[in-house]
């Protein structure tokens, strides 16, 4: 873009910032377009409302975005009725405000609640019914629900049903499902999106001054495909999801086993790479690697966390046949119900009441950064030793290795926008957390995690180096201000979606040509660009 156009754009945005439409005008618009039996002003919070700061902050899960310098929304709307969503879209369009849609608020880079342009937060936390229907083993779950509320609702009704989704109970279903959603049953059942049957979305199209509310049949298979892994916020506001439950045994088994370098961690992790994606599909063994001190000496600790969909006797047989190197013994194994295994994996002590799954807050928030990679070839012992040295040098960053294979390898890359299926041994999550405030500190920690990510380049997927959308990472590329071009968005888009990026662009161009739903990593619309995607 030329300097001139840039100058005009920034002049325009300053102009818009200075001339925020008055509160009354906005409220009039909102009221006019929503159902008067559910007065929208009672769920609309401008910055002069005493509840504004607490509502804004209650779903900020990364303290980096609570700084006073972080851009704040003009107002927050917390819909309790679908017409509140329709009215917000109509009025935000009219006043040229962007909408950030927030469900659980776990977006690692804060894209569900921060924007550089004048914006509004639509926070879904009031809409969270979980309607379990045991007759056809389905659930209608509202977007504002957490996966914990979903698991709780299912466990209340059945001991032999579960759902394959994330491990942390406070994750919101809408961000989670619309980005794929994986958990410790993925080798047996695939992702959350592989079990979505229907959804309800409000898109940006306005007919006779009313926003459209579409279910699967009305939205069509292309958009329904797009929201199952392409990120919901490029397409509209997803209100609820219909999912199919999966069968789980009455007794499952979990274990946690640790090895340091002195206890042979290198050999065991090396071996794990050959085993974890091939082993019994009901067995998921995650490895968490961190740099720790033992007796004053730095070492690497490998924690093996497992869920097995079966009893301990069967698990011990599987392990002694396929992975004797870990040395698992009967005392390591704990048998429990599936719902208790959910609590165990979420780090609650054994015996904790299932009711904690309903807590939406409680964990202390941190400053954090996450990144992701996919590994397709086992890393040699020599390679692992180099990684250990790098980790001990950097100290802070932690790696979590999540095995693929099983059901994941049986589903085509094109089935949903989430493309990381066959051919992947495991996914890496890089994480760094810190407690100190300030930008210098943050930059120091960001450098550490980026340093480790760079170091890993030779060992991970290439052309493109893939990333998982739900491990949101703005380092891999972002759209500029205004309408992103296809070329700009492709930089990050192919990392998340590989060849599915093009189909997502087609869907976007069809359902939101004017690019109303846009943010730093939204799918671009080709409308008005003169470009077309060539479908094969
Ligand atoms: C502690 C923790 C544990 C995690 N564990 C796992 C895990 O085990 N497995 C896994 O796969 N991921 C995991 N994640 C990542 C998680 O899946 C993503 O962060 C997910 O996007 C969070 O969804 P959310 O609704 O909480 O986030 P939000 O921040 O609310 O939203 C994330 C994105 O989705 C959009 N969005 C939200 N609601 C809607 C809606 N109703 N309609 C349209 N778009 C919407 C937002 O605008 C944003 O772009 C974890 C994250 C955290 C913080
Ligand atoms: C983006 O493109 C659409 C479609 O051509 C157009 O209607 C809209 O005004 C553009 N928006 C911006 C911010 O340039």
pLDDT tens by residue, the chain, 536 residues:
444 555 555 555 555 555 678 899 999 999 999 999 999 999 999 999 999 999 999 999 999 999 889 999 999 999 999 999 999 999 999 999 999 999 999 999 999 999 999 999 999 999 999 999 999 999 999 999 999 999 999 999 999 999 999 999 999 999 999 999 999 999 999 999 999 999 999 999 999 999 999 999 999 999 999 999 999 999 999 999 999 999 999 999 999 999 999 999 999 999 999 999 999 999 999 999 999 999 999 999 999 999 999 999 999 999 999 999 999 999 999 999 999 999 999 999 999 999 999 998 766 789 999 999 999 999 999 999 999 999 999 999 999 999 999 999 999 999 999 999 999 999 999 999 999 999 999 999 999 999 999 999 999 999 999 999 999 999 999 998 889 999 999 999 999 999 999 999 999 999 999 999 999 999 999 997 777 765 54
Ligand nearest to the CA of 193: 1
| Region label for 190, one of left (φ > 0), alpha (ψ between -120 and 50) or beta (otherwise) | left
3-state secondary structure of 518: coil
β-strand partners of 433? 368
The kind and range of the H/E element at 162 are: strand 161-162
Atom of ligand 1 nearest to the CA of 104: 26
Q: Which of 386, 471, 469, 428 is nearest to 287 (CA)?
A: 428
With contact defined as beta carbons under 8 Å apart, do 522 and 234 qualify? yes
Ligand 2 mean position, distance from CA 527 (Å):
8
Residue nearest to atom 34 of ligand 1 (CA): 175
Residue nearest to atom 5 of ligand 2 (CA): 528
Residue nearest to atom 4 of ligand 1 (CA): 168
Ligand 1 mean position, distance from CA 265 (Å):
32
Q: Parallel, antiparallel, or unpaired for β 237-244 and 196-207? A: antiparallel
The CB of 514 under 6 Å from ligand 2? The reply is yes
HSE toward the beta carbon, residue 505, CA cutoff 13 A: 26
Ligand 1 mean position, distance from CA 230 (Å):
12
β-strand partners of 399? 289, 430
The CB of 309 under 6 Å from ligand 1? The reply is no
Q: Which CATH number fits the domain 252-336+366-459, given the four candidates 3.40.462.20, 3.40.50.970, 3.90.550.50, 3.90.180.10?
A: 3.40.462.20
CA distance 414 to 420: 10
Tell the residue number behind the tokens 């990026």, with chain if given. Answer: 501
> What backbone torsions phi and psi does residue 112 show, to the nearest 5 degrees?
-90, 0
CA distance 348 to 339: 12
Q: Which two tokens stand for residue 102?
A: 């927030």
The CB of 482 under 6 Å from ligand 2? The reply is yes
Q: Which two tokens stand for residue 2?
A: 């030329």
With contact defined as beta carbons under 8 Å apart, do 233 and 522 qualify? yes
**Domain ranges within the chain, ordered by starting residue:** 3-126, 130-247, 252-336+366-459
Ligand 1 mean position, distance from CA 293 (Å):
33
Residue nearest to atom 4 of ligand 2 (CA): 514
Dmax (CA) for the chain in angstroms is: 72
Residue nearest to atom 1 of ligand 2 (CA): 483
Q: What angle do CA 474, 173, 98 make, to 5 degrees?
A: 50
> What backbone torsions phi and psi does residue 502 show, to the nearest 5 degrees?
-60, -40
Ligand 1 mean position, distance from CA 104 (Å):
6
Q: Which of 114, 112, 182, 102 is nearest to 144 (CA)?
A: 102
With contact defined as beta carbons under 8 Å apart, do 188 and 406 qualify? yes
The CB of 178 under 6 Å from ligand 1? The reply is yes
The pTM assigned to this predicted structure is: 0.95
Is CATH 3.30.43.10 the right assignment for the domain spanning 3-126?
Answer: yes
Q: Which of 380, 469, 427, 479 is nearest to 108 (CA)?
A: 469
β-strand partners of 370? 431
Span 130-247 CATH architecture: 2-Layer Sandwich (3.30)
Q: Which of 396, 398, 419, 417 is nearest to 408 (CA)?
A: 419
């Amino acid at each position: 873009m030329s300097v001139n156009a840039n100058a005009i754009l920034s002049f325009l945005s300053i102009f818009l910032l200075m001339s925020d439409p008055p509160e009354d005008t906005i409220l009039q618009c909102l009221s006019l377009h929503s159902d008067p039996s559910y007065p929208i002003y009672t769920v609309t919070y401008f910055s002069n409302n005493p509840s504004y700061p607490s509502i804004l902050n209650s779903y900020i899960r990364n303290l980096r975005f609570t700084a006073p310098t972080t851009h704040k929304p003009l107002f927050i709307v917390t819909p309790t009725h679908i017409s509140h969503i329709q009215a917000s879209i109509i009025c935000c369009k009219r006043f040229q405000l962007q909408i950030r849609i927030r469900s659980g608020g776990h977006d690692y880079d804060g894209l569900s609640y921060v924007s550089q342009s004048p914006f509004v937060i639509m926070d879904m936390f009031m809409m969270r019914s979980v309607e379990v229907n045991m007759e056809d083993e389905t659930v209608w779950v509202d977007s504002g629900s957490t996966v914990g509320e979903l698991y709780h609702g299912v466990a209340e009704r059945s001991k032999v049903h579960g759902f394959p989704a994330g491990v942390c109970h406070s994750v919101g279903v809408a961000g989670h499902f619309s980005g794929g959603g994986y958990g410790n049953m993925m080798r047996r059942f695939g992702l959350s999106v592989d079990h979505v049957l229907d959804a309800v979305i409000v898109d940006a199209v306005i007919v006779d001054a009313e926003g459209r509310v579409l279910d699967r049949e009305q939205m069509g298979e292309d958009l329904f495909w797009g929201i199952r892994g392409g990120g919901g916020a490029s397409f509209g506001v997803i209100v609820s999801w219909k999912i199919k439950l999966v069968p789980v045994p009455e007794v499952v088994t979990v274990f946690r086993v640790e090895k340091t370098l002195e206890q042979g961690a290198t050999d065991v992790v090396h071996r794990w790479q050959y085993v974890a994606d091939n082993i019994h599909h009901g067995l998921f063994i995650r490895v968490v690697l961190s740099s720790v001190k033992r007796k004053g000496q730095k070492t690497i600790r490998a924690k093996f966390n497992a869920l097995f969909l079966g009893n301990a006797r069967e698990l011990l047989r599987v392990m002694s046949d396929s992975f004797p190197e870990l040395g698992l013994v009967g005392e390591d194994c704990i048998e429990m119900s599936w719902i208790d295994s959910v609590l165990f994996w979420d780090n609650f002590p054994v015996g904790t009441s299932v009711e904690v799954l309903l807590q939406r807050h409680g964990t202390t928030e941190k400053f954090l950064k996450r990144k992701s990679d996919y590994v397709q070839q086992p890393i040699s012992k020599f390679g692992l030793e180099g990684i250990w040295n790098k980790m001990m040098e950097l100290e802070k960053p932690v790696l979590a290795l999540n095995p693929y294979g099983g059901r994941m390898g049986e589903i085509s890359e094109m089935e949903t926008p989430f493309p990381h299926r066959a051919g992947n041994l495991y996914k890496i999550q890089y994480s760094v957390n810190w407690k100190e405030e300030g930008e210098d500190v943050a930059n120091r920690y960001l450098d550490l995690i980026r340093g480790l990510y760079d170091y890993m380049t030779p060992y991970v997927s290439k052309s493109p180096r893939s990333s998982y959308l739900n491990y949101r990472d703005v380092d891999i590329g972002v759209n500029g201000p205004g309408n992103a071009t296809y070329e700009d968005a492709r930089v990050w888009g192919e990392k998340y979606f590989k060849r599915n990026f093009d189909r997502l662009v087609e869907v976007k161009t069809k359902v939101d040509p004017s690019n109303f739903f846009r943010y730093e990593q939204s799918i671009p619309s080709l409308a008005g660009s003169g470009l077309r995607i060539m479908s094969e």
